[in-house]
Amino acid sequence: MRLALTLLLALTTVPCAAQPHVDVAKSLVADALKDDWGYAFLEGLTTEIGQRLAGTEAEARAAEWAAAKLKSAGFDEVHIESFPMTAWVRGVESGQIVAPAPQHLVLTALGGSVATPEAGIEAEIVLFRSYAVLAAAPPGSLAGKIAVVTQRMLRLEDGAGYGAANPIRRAGPSEAAKRGAVAYLHRSLGTTNHRVAHTGALNYTDEAPRIPAAALANPDADQLERLAARGPVKLRFTLTPTTIEGARSFTVVADIKGRERPDEVVLIGAHLDSWDLGTGAIDDGAGCAIVAAAGKLIAALPQRPRRTLRVVLFGAEEMNYSGPAYASAHADDVPKIVVANESDFGARPIRIVEVPQGAAASDFSRALIDVVTPLGVILGRNTARDAGDDVRPLARAGVPVLALRRSAPDYFDIHHTADDTLDKIVAAELAQNIAVWAAFAYLAADSAVDFRALAAQQR
């Protein structure tokens, strides 16, 4: 009996082949939870640079700043790449209810919007509580009017309300213009009832005139709903944005060279550009801090992982350039990327790991869940098909993606608004993110798991 117990004990405690690798990941977690380098990175980025609008001098300074930080953090090779873009720069933005009850309106231009005349646009509104009703309105029905859509975006844990509401902002301006509208306003694609408006890029079509377009703060949309229910409402608003043709954006790339398979790359990214209204703390300074700090912890290990770990801080994500720019510049490298992931949904704690297709039962996934379970993370029911804008073109080109999901019902209270500032970040939550990301990045880089092959076996 005693012998049997001894044997059993020996069997359960004898390290399996993967144990040292797991122990290293656990030590990374412990290091991450007591290290403040990631928070200091975010504090520095949002303070010393602040807003980092794509294609502007501020974004260029941010790239230099981040490259210097990554160099000092022990990465083996850090460089900046550059690509051309058309920049869009916000000007004056102001709005008023002219009649029946004069009142200041809080609104913000959509990224890419054309300017109004300098004196503004003044017209009666046609208000739609549902975007579908605007989309079904007949041609000419909005002639000379300001179209206003007040449909409300849903607050959901995973942010799915945003995707569903996105056409209101992206397609709404041209849909309104097709029907004769002279300008377009919509309720912010945001969940806060504070008087901050939510910007974001629009997409004009070529089939309609380009009309000025802006987002209203939620209480302002409410006010217009109440007034429109009582009778005609006249508004005036002024936007004076400008565009810069031939601007440039930047991608910062930092590598930790693999000790055995340097040509195989685990790519973790975030985007360095931000909207100009806040200082880009949750979107996406936090993501940059998370992937940079995860890399820094791995760079400090006594031994390099087997594969190369690449941290990429993308430029001009908010203006839709980042993913395509990287994927096209690195088309030859795509086959070498064994797995990719990005962090672009704030810094609330990671709760769910979605592993690539076919990888749920792999040694890699078992090790990762073992390491991150104490951090309050579970294995998701789904496998990752998408990890975000920056790596989407890589995913489409066949790169397996992994996703680390947060529960963040308040993300769209802040995202794309003036409220996106450092005070919205909880340092301990940021540290949990860094711990999970460090564990994932290390385990993926130090393993031999072939995610492409696992996915192929599933098909």
Q: In what order do the strands lie in the sheet with 307-314?
A: 77-89, 242-256, 307-314, 261-271, 337-342
**Contact status: 101 vs a copy of itself (CB under 8 A):** yes
Sequence-distant (6+) residues with CB within 8 A of 150 are 127, 128, 129, 186, 187, 216, 221, 222, 224, 225
CB of residue 105 to a copy of itself, shortest distance in Å: 10
Full DSSP string of 86-116: EEEE---EEEEEEESS-EEE-EEEPBTPPPP
**Contact status: 422 vs a copy of itself (CB under 8 A):** yes
**Contact status: 419 vs a copy of itself (CB under 8 A):** yes
**Contact status: 59 vs a copy of itself (CB under 8 A):** no
Contact between 46 and 421 (Cβ < 8 Å): yes
Find the binder of a copy of itself among 40, 43, 262, 455 (CB under 8 A): 43
**Contact status: 151 vs a copy of itself (CB under 8 A):** no
CB of residue 116 to a copy of itself, shortest distance in Å: 17
CB of residue 52 to a copy of itself, shortest distance in Å: 10
d(CA 95, CA 120): 9
Q: Which amino acid is at 351?
A: R
Sign for the CA dihedral angle at 63, 345, 218, 160 comes to positive
Contact between 24 and 301 (Cβ < 8 Å): yes
Pairing of β 103-105 and β 93-99? antiparallel
The count of chain residues that interact with a copy of itself, using the rule CB under 8 A, is 37
Find the binder of a copy of itself among 23, 30, 104, 457 (CB under 8 A): 104
**Contact status: 48 vs a copy of itself (CB under 8 A):** yes
Find the binder of a copy of itself among 222, 333, 363, 450 (CB under 8 A): 222
Only segment of 8-16, 25-33, 222-230, 296-304 that touches a copy of itself (CB under 8 A): 222-230
**Contact status: 418 vs a copy of itself (CB under 8 A):** yes
Closer residue to a copy of itself in complex, CB, 218/341: 218
d(CA 406, CA 433): 9
Closer residue to a copy of itself in complex, CB, 186/452: 186
Query: Length of the chain, please?
Result: 459
Region 272-311 residues binding a copy of itself, contact defined as CB under 8 A: 276-279
**Contact status: 196 vs a copy of itself (CB under 8 A):** yes
Q: Crossing angle of helices 286-299/427-446, nearest 10°?
A: 50
**Contact status: 96 vs a copy of itself (CB under 8 A):** no
Sign for the CA dihedral angle at 425, 431, 433, 438 comes to positive
Only segment of 114-122, 319-327, 353-361, 413-421 that touches a copy of itself (CB under 8 A): 413-421
Only segment of 100-108, 125-133, 400-408, 440-448 that touches a copy of itself (CB under 8 A): 100-108
Q: Which of 236, 141, 153 is nearest to 190 (CA)?
A: 153
Task: Pull the structure tokens for residue 8.
Answer: 């059993």
CB of residue 343 to a copy of itself, shortest distance in Å: 22
Task: Pull the structure tokens for residue 85.
Answer: 């873009």
Closer residue to a copy of itself in complex, CB, 277/431: 277
**Contact status: 188 vs a copy of itself (CB under 8 A):** no
Closer residue to a copy of itself in complex, CB, 326/412: 412
Please report, as ranges, the residues that interact with a copy of itself according to CB under 8 A. Answer: 43, 47-51, 58, 97, 100-104, 106, 192-196, 218-219, 222-223, 226-227, 230, 276-279, 417-419, 421-424
